[in-house]
Every structure is written in structure tokens, then in C-alpha cells.
Amino acid sequence: MANVTKEAAHSGYDQPYYVPEQSKCPVWASFGLALFVFGMGNLLNDLKADSSTTFSTLLTLAGFGVLATTLFNWFSAQIRENHMGLPGPQLKRSYVLSMYWFIFSEVMFFAAFFGALFYVRQWVIPWLGGEGDKGVSNMLWPNFEASWPVISNPDSSVFSNPGESMAWPGFGGALSYLPLWNTIILLTSSFTVHIAHTALKNNKRQQLILWLGLTVLLGIVFLFLQIEEYAHAYSELGLTLNSGIYGSTFFLLTGFHGFHVTLGTFMLAVMWFRALKGHFKPEDHFGFEAASWYWHFVDVVWVCLFLFVYIF
Amino acid sequence: MATGHDDHHHGPAKGITRWLYTTNHKDIGSMYLWFSFAMFLLGGTFALVIRAELFQPGLQFVDPNFFNQMTTMHGLVMVFGAVMPAFVGLANWMIPLMIGAPDMALPRMNNWSFWILPFAFALLASTLFMEAGAPNFGWTFYAPLSTTYAPSTVTFFIFAIHIMGASSIMGAINIIATIQNLRAPGMTYMKMPLFVWTWLITAYLLIAVMPVLAGVVTMMLFDIHFGTSFFNAAGGGDPVLFQHVFWFFGHPEVYIMILPAFGVISEIVPTFSRKKLFGYDSMVYATSSIAFLSFIVWAHHMFTTGMPLAGELFFMYATMLIAVPTGVKVFNWVTTMFKGSITFETPMLFAIAFVVLFTCGGFTGLMLSIAPADFQYHDTYFVVAHFHYVLVPGAVFSIMAAVYYWLPKWTGNMYDENLGRLHFWLSFIGINILFFPQHFLGLAGMPRRIPDYALQFADFNMISSIGAFIFGFSQLLFLFIVIKTVKGGKKATAEVWEGSHGLEWTVPSPAPYHTFSTPPVVK
């Protein structure tokens, strides 16, 4: 619809609605995604079979490259078209709605892992320990005693026992408890991104750049501490992916959260560079808003993690 | 009223790039439908391998491991490749036309959702040619069959599920955003056609449970490759945990495959009865109730896993409740037909068959919901008969009904009514010969997913296989009819059907490449 004028696209219901031009991006993104997962599948199978990973690594990287390049071009096109004023208010409402629903889908993704954690803690471990309705399962490993965190696995010849858990050390050790610091950092970053948003709405660009930059920094610090924590768990606590259900749930939940923080930090960093380039208007900055909603979402997930994975 | 502005648009692009780069909901809808039909034939071929092997007792054609690959791939391809994409294709074509929107809300993402699918299924199908063979653990991929004892190709299966899940989520987000945001002025929620309503709720279900499926395959991936113990009791995990998470996805999934079918039937029955749909409001509330209940009944698939008694009872009664809103729907369809001046064109034949045969499938579902009875039926052919009755004369018949119903709108030509009816009767008779005897096999104790069986099951299996080949080959007639209609035929009017009503019948047939670029006003 190249012949739709800017005025027409903006005036809402009575004029032609803006339908975006054809784009090469979707089909390339599909190809990149498929190549990436095909490479990943080969890579994982090669690793498991102890065979050469050269080819599969190349496939994975090529797939990732195609996907990343395509997404970069796709987002650039969207931004360019937005600067040309092509999308009308209705399309912008569609963006907002779809971001809400996307975040809801992410909530459900984490819900699956939290559900698994609750099920294991509420039923599986007590049953294996001989308590409750299905306590008869204790006959599999009669020496297993139910407790959470599980420090001694039912069969520790298959799954090595973790030496220690990440549980709350009590108020005495609170100051040296890394997850507490991470909680403070992430909660603070939710406030800083909100301040940045307010500054943007008031058209105060310097403040926007300052507070958004601070948010990105906090995200990076969080990730750094998370890596520190993992290194500590692996090298000193003996807590690994292979150390039974406690390690499994711990690393899967915190790991996927960390992956989402990485994505969120990346998104905010992109927004920071865009802000430097003078993008965004006080009344039109969906890209920024979407990234900040996403950031608040990963923050909320962290609070749940802190409560149910670390504290209780 | 909506076509006066076509001078604003150019037509479709030329050549292959029209399809590769398109942002047009009609193009994307057509691609979804053709893809789905290709998958229907592929999954059907797998089914015929199964039925050929089961024609007689003993091992004839395939070895047991390959047989298991066939049952697995048949289920996966039919569920994720045939039924779901067909409904998304119908949604793409019809929702914008039904709500007076110019296109889907996010046209480029729409194209991405589609194009992921051919790649995902190429990945999945490629496992058939790999040394380790295709996945062989059943479409429900229970751990530890799919983890500890799985062929190495399970990794590709997991990633294929991941990306087709991403496709479904994007498709569902697009559909919800379209319905929420692009309805023509005056089209309030309670004026939306039921097909749109059922899709709104289906899209919500998709967004809620596809991520859970992604979660469960991710846990599998970690158990297989990274040494975790989610589904291994030796590390404090539990294989039954797999089933809980899987069926939390899986049960809403079966409604994802049937709610849009309800919508289709609710469009077709009034048209050919020449009456308004009876009980529109109650249809909306019934659909919502079914969607809600779908989240709290998952463990009825797991009655024999040794759940605590309280769990057995809760899931039994919650499951039985589903019969209430479903009964409301069947009642409304029948009451719509009551005293109507009915004609029996092909879409209506499929729709009536749907109402009757889906209800049969519903009743066997009710039988299965009774926990103590399920101990007997579990994992027998009775279950196979049950879910094929709701999926084939249910979901698949509704898709065929929808294709006959809207094909004149899409192509501008009427299909050949005599051939359509022939296709219907062959399918209807084939399907009942195919699946009805399976009830008896199951009640007599024949387990599902086995390549060989005891002699007393021989006769019914032979009858069932004959039905399978009748039904399977009849679908080539369907393909022929569709191609014939695309190529030519009697010209269709804008209304197409005498009793049709709704915005999609106000645009010419075939529907122009761009419709409703200025929204119509709905009174």
C-alpha cells in the first residue's frame, strides 16, 4: 500500500487502514530459526556421542547469524516505517496488545517450571521419603529421607549429592547472601527504568539516557553476580545440574530467568542506543515501553524465584 | 458496501515471492490450508501403514519399532500439522472478513507464523531418514520412554516442537489482537460471529498452554543432555511429573482442536436451516465454560498412574462437568435445525454428521471419565476409538464442512455438489467402518500401540482396516474437488448460500485481494 499517505494512515476509521508492505524478513527468520535448531540438535547429539562437533557448531552459528541478521533488518524496517509515520494509531494498539499477550505466554512458560517445583516439593519428595498417600514408593530407596533442599539423593550413585544448597542462611548471614543483593539490584532497576520512562514522557532526554543507562548497568551487574553464584555452586558447593532434583529445579528456574534478564538487558541497551540517536517521542515510544514492561516482568519472576527457590 | 475503495490497492505480487513475502491474510490463509492438507495426506499415509499392519494378526509389513514410529508420527503430524494449521488457515481467511477488518493485526508476524511450520515439519519428518529412526514413544512422549530410552532423534523432535510452538503462539497473539482491535465499528463482542468467538477463546488457550508444552520438552532436553533428574526418581524427580505437565498442556490442546470446529458448525447449521442460531449467548458462555474447565481436568488422562484418591475423585467430577456446556451446544444446534427449512448441501451434511458423531465421541468420553471404569478402558482401543470420533468426524469433518462452505467465497466458483456429496458419503461410511469396531476391540481388551494382537481381535481389525482405506482414498476425491473448483465451475454469487448472513457474504466472490480497507458499519 505504497500510495497510502501519512495523513490517511493517521486518521483512524474513515480512511484506509495501513497494511504493511511485503517483507523478506519472515521467511528468512523461519529459515534462520530452523537452521539454528537443526544445528543445535546435531551439536547436542554430537556432544553426547563424543563425535566431532565442527560441522554442527558451524550450522548452529550460521543459523544464529541468519536469524539475528534478519531480526535486525526486520526491527530496522519497523523503526524506519514508524519514523515515516506509516503505522496508524490502530496498528500501534495492536503492538501494545500483542506485547501484553506475549508477556502472558512468558508467564505460562515459567508457570510450567514453578508448577514442577511445587509438585516435587509437595508430593514427590514426601512420597519417596515414605510419607503420605503414596509413601509406599519409599521401598525403592528405603534409606532416602524426605527433606528440602534435597541434599542426599535417592540414588546418589546416579545423581551426585550436592554438598550444600542455596537456602537462606538466616539473618546472621544475610549481608553476605548473594541472592539478596541480586534482589535489591533487580528491584532497584525496576524503579530506575520507571524513572527513565517518566523522564521520556516529560521529554527530558538527558535524564532518560542517564536512568536508562543505569538500568542497563544494573542488569549487567545482576548477570555478573549470577555467573559468580553459578561458579561458586559448581566449584565449591558441588551443586550442579547433575545433583538431583534440587540442582535441576534450581538451575532451570534461575537459568531461564537469567536468560530472560539477558534478553531484557539487551532490549534496554538497544533502547539506550536509540535514545542516544534521538529516537522516541513523549507520546510515541512503544519500543521503549515494550522493553520496560518486559523488564518489570523479569523482575516479578525474580521475586517469585527469590521467595520459592531461595527462601522457602 | 466495502469494496468501493479497491482503487487504493494493487493486486498480488507476481511469482513465488507473492507467497514467500506476503502480508496478505488471504494468501497466508491459503498457504496454511494447503500445508495442512499436505500434512493430512502425510499423516494419513502413516495411518494406513498402521492399518495395513493390523489388517491381520502377526507381523506382515513393518517391524515393531517402525510401527511405533508410525503411531508417533501419525499423531504428531495430524495434531500439529493437519488439524491446528487448518483452523489457523480458516481463521486467517475468515476472521478479517467476518469482523470487517482489512487484514490481520500484524501481517508480517502472520507470515512468520506460517513459514516456521514447513521448516518445523521438515525437521520432524527428516528423523524418519536418520539412522536412529523417528521418535517411537507415542505422540504423548511419556518419560522415560522419551528420555532415558529414546532414540537420539528425540533432540530434533524437541526442537521441532519448540519452533512449532513459537509459531502457534505468534499465530494466537495475532488472532487475539485482530479480534480485540480490528472489529468494525458497531461490532460489539456479543455481535461477533461464533466462529470468531470460538477462535478468540482458542487463541487464549493457545497462549496459555503452548508455553507449558515448551516447558515440558525443555525439561526433557535437560534430562537427556544436561544430566538433570526431573523425570527420574533416582534423583528425586518423578516420571509422573512429566504426565502432569504434559497433560496440563494436552487437555486444553484437545479443546484447541475442537472449539473452532464448534464455531464452524455454528455458522453452517443456521445457514442451511434458514434460521438464526438458537441460543447465541448460551453458546458464548458454554464455550467459555469449556475453556475454563479444560484447565482443571488434565489428570483424567492419568487415572491409572496411582494418584491419591482425592485426585481421582476431583478430576473425575470436574471432567463430567464438561458434558454440561457441551450438551448446551448440541442442544442449540439441534434446536436451530428444529422446524427450519433445511437443505442438505455438502457443508450441511458434514455439519450434521459432526453433531451426531461428535456426540458419540463425547459420550465415550463420559464413559472414560468414570475413574473406576477407566481402569479397564485405559490404553485400549476404546480410547483410540473415543478420541478419533471427536477428532475425525469432529474436528476434521468440521474443517471439510468449512472448506465446502467458504470455497465459493475464496475461489468465486461453486464446487461440484454431486461430487461433494459423494465425498461426504464415502467419508461418513468409511469413518464409521474404521472407528466403530475399535470400541468393541477396546472393550474386549485390545491394547493400543501394538503391531500384533491375539486372534480373537482379528475380525474387527480387518473391518477397521477396510474402513481406513475407504476413508483414506476418499480424500483424494476431496483434493480433486478442490482443485476442480479452483480451476473453474459455476460462478458463485456474493451471498453464495440462500440463507447466509454476515459480513463475509457482503464482499464479492471471489473475495478481492484487499477487502474492508474502509471498515463497514455494523448496526
CB contacts under 8 A, B 480-519 vs A, are: 514, 517-519
For residue B11, pLDDT over 90 is answered with no
pLDDT band at A6 (very low <50, low <70, confident <90, very high): very low
The confidence band for B12, taking pLDDT boundaries of 50, 70 and 90, is confident
Instruction: State whether A17 and B103 contact (CB < 8 Å).
Output: yes
Length of chain B, in residues: 523
> Are the C-beta atoms of B174 and A98 separated by less than 8 Å?
yes
Q: What percent of chain B has pLDDT over 90?
A: 96
pLDDT for the residue A307: 96
Q: Is B377 assigned a catalytic role?
A: no
Tell me, letter by letter, the H, E, C secondary structure of chain A: CCCCCHHHHHCHHHCCCCCCCCCCHHHHHHHHHHHHHHHHHHHHHHHHHCCCCHHHHHHHHHHHHHHHHHHHHHHHHHHHHHHCCCCCHHHHHHHHHHHHHHHHHHHHHHHHHHHHHHHHHHHHHHHHCCCCCCHHHHHCCCCCCCCCCCCCCCCCCCCCCCCCCCCCCCHHHHHHCHHHHHHHHHHHHHHHHHHHHHHHHCCCHHHHHHHHHHHHHHHHHHHHHHHHHHHHHHHHHCCCCCCHHHHHHHHHHHHHHHHHHHHHHHHHHHHHHHHHCCCCECCECHHHHHHHHHHHHHHHHHHHHHHHHHHC
What is the pLDDT at residue A2?
Answer: 38
pLDDT one-digit tens code per residue, B45-85 = 999 999 999 999 999 999 999 999 999 999 999 999 999 99
Q: CB distance B21–A27 less than 8 Å? A: yes
**In the prediction, which pLDDT does A17 show?**
65
Q: Does A118 touch chain B (CB under 8 A)?
A: no
Indicate the length of chain A as a whole number. Answer: 312
Name the active-site residue from B26, B301, B409, B423.
B301
The residue-averaged pLDDT of A219-244 equals: 96
Q: Does B181 sit within 8 Å of A94, measured CB to CB? A: yes
Model confidence over B127-142: pLDDT tens digits?
A: 999 999 999 999 999 9
Asked if A148 has any chain B CB less than 8 Å from its own CB, the reply is no
Q: Which of B266, B364, B411, B465 is catalytic?
A: B266
pLDDT at site B14: 86
Return all residues near A76 (Cβ < 8 A) that are at least 6 apart: none
pLDDT-derived band at B35 (thresholds 50, 70, 90) equals very high
Q: Does B31 touch chain A (CB under 8 A)?
A: no
pLDDT for residue B13? 85
Instruction: List the single best residue of B229, B240, B312, B518 to mutate versus A (max A Cβ within 10 A).
Output: B229
Q: Which tens digit of pLDDT belongs to each residue from B290-336?
A: 999 999 999 999 999 999 999 999 999 999 999 999 999 999 999 99
Least Cα distance to B111 among B243, B181, B19 occurs for: B19
pLDDT of residue B3 exceeding 90? no
- The pLDDT score that the predictor gives to residue B9 is 52
Instruction: Give the model's pLDDT for residue A10.
Output: 38
CA closest to B119 among chain A residues: A34
Check if A136 contacts B (Cβ < 8 Å): no
Using pLDDT thresholds of 50, 70 and 90, give the confidence band for residue B10.
Answer: low
In chain A, what residues touch B177 (CB-CB under 8 Å)? Answer: 94, 97-98, 101
Average the pLDDT over A150-175 and give the result: 91
pLDDT on residue A1: 35
Higher per-residue pLDDT: B9 or B34:
B34
Is residue B397 over pLDDT 90? yes
Contact call for A128 and B236, based on CB within 8 A: yes
Window 413-472 of B, Cβ < 8 Å to A: none
pLDDT top residue among A7 and A132 = A132
Q: What is the mean pLDDT of chain B?
A: 96
Residue predicted with more confidence, A172 or B298: B298
Q: Return the C-alpha cell found at A108.
A: 505460562
Q: Is the pLDDT of residue B283 over 90?
A: yes
B294 is catalytic: no
**pLDDT band of B5, cuts 50, 70, 90:** very low
Task: Give the chain B residue whose CA is nearest to the CA of A113.
Answer: B215
**What is the percent of chain A where pLDDT is above 90?**
85
Supply the pTM of this predicted model: 0.95
Give the residue-averaged pLDDT of A160-184: 91
What tens digit of pLDDT does each residue of A270-284 get?
Answer: 999 999 999 999 999
What is the rounded average pLDDT of the residues A285-308?
97
Mind listing the pLDDT tens digit for each residue in B86-120? 999 999 999 999 999 999 999 999 999 999 999 99
- Mean of the pLDDT values across residues A220-236? 96
Q: Which of B153, B178, B319, B326 is catalytic?
A: B326
pLDDT over threshold 70, residue A7: no
**ipTM metric:** 0.94
Mutate to test the interface with A, among B108, B183, B187 (most CBs of A within 10 A): B108
**Per-residue confidence (pLDDT) for residue A14, from 0 to 100:** 45
Q: What is the DSSP string of B505-516?
A: GTS-SSPPSS--
Q: Averaged over B189-197, what is the pLDDT?
A: 97
pLDDT tens digits along A8-48: 343 344 445 677 889 999 999 999 999 999 999 999 999 99
